Structure 1
Amino acid sequence: MASHIYVRYLNGPLLWLGIIVGLAVVAAVVPMMIDSTWAAILFGALVIATTVACIMMRVKIVVSDDDVVVSILGIFTKRIALSDITGASVGPETGLKEGAGPRVVDGAPAYIVSGPTVRIEQGRSSLIASAKNPEDVVAVIEARLR
C-alpha cells in the first residue's frame, strides 16, 4: 500500500491571534532594526522568522505500511511502529484553550494546531494529533492494523 499523508495547518482563532501578534512584533522590531547594530538586526530577523514559523505551523501525519509518523513544525517528530498501535479513534476537538504546538491534552502528548484530532493508542498510552479529517486517518490506520 502507498503511504497516506495528512496535513493540518494552524487555523481559526489561533491563526488570527498569531497574525495579530506577528504584526505587533514586526511593528515593534522593525523600527529598532533601522540604523542599528548587526546583532540587533540579527535578533530582529530571528524574532520575525520565529513569528512567521509559528503562523505557518502545521501537523503532518504519514501512515505507511510500517509505521505512523506525526510531526509538528518539522522539528518535533514521533514515530510509532504499526505493531505498537493498539487502536485509533477520533480525538477531542482542540481550540484556544489548548493552544498550538507540542502539548498535553487529556493526559496524552499532543501535536495540535486547533480543531479536530485523532488519538493513536499504544497500549496504556496514546498520542493526539490534529487532523483535517480524523475519520479518514482512523480508517487508514485501522485498515493497516488488520
Structure 2
Amino acid sequence: MDSRIYIRYLNGPLLWMGIVVGLAVVAAVVPTMIDSTWAAILFGALVIIATVACLLMRVKIVVNDGEVAVSVFGVFTKRIPLREITGVSIGPETGLKEGAGPRIVDGAPAYIVSGPTVRIEWGRSSLIASAKNPEEVVADIKARLH
C-alpha cells in the first residue's frame, strides 16, 4: 500500500479567537515598531510571525506500511511502528477547553487543533490526534494492521 497523508488545520472557534487575538496583537505591536529601535522592530516582527504560525497550525498524520507518524507545527512528531499498534479508534471531540497544539486529553498525549480525533494505542501508551475524517484514518490504519 502507499502512504496516505491526513491534514487538519486549526478551525472553528479556536481559529476565530486566534484571528481576533492576532489582529489585536498586530494593532498593538505595529505602532510601536514605527520610529523604534531595531530591537523593538525585531521583537514586533517575531510576535507577528508567532501569531501567524499559530493561526496556520495543523496536525498531519502520515500512514504507511511501516508506521504512523503524527506531527503538529511540523516540529513535534511521534512515530509509532505499525507492528506495535494494538488499537485504533475514533477519539474524543476537542474544542476551546482543550486548546490546540501538543496537549494532554483524557490522560493521553494529544496533538490537536480542535474537532474530531483518532486515538492510537500501543502497549500501555496512546496518542490522540486531530483528523478531519477520523473514520477514514481509523479504517486506513486498521487495514494495514492485518
**Superposed counterparts of 1:73-88, under 5 Å:** 73-88=73-88
What is the TM-score with the length of structure 1 in the denominator?
0.99
| Deviation digits for residues 24-56 of structure 1 (CA, Å, limit 9, x no counterpart) | 000000000000011111100000000000001
TM-superposed deviation, 1:83: 1.1
Partner of 2:12: 12
| Cα distance between partner residues in 1 of 2:123 and 2:86 | 6
| Cα distance between partner residues in 2 of 1:3 and 1:72 | 18
Please say if 1:31 is aligned against 2:34. no
How many residue pairs match? The answer is 146
Structure 2: which amino acid aligns with 1:41?
I
Structure 1: which amino acid aligns with 2:102?
P
Structure 2: which amino acid aligns with 1:56?
L
| Deviation digits for residues 99-145 of structure 1 (CA, Å, limit 9, x no counterpart) | 00000000000000000000000122100000000000000000100
| Cα distance between partner residues in 1 of 2:123 and 2:89 | 13
Which secondary structure does the structure 2 equivalent of 1:99 belong to?
Answer: coil
Partner of 1:127: 127
Which secondary structure does the structure 2 equivalent of 1:86 belong to?
Answer: strand
Structure 2: which amino acid aligns with 1:23?
L
Give me the CA root mean square deviation.
0.5
Partner of 1:40: 40
Structure 1 portions without partners, runs of 5+: none
What is the TM-score with the length of structure 2 in the denominator?
0.99
Which secondary structure does the structure 2 equivalent of 1:25 belong to?
Answer: helix
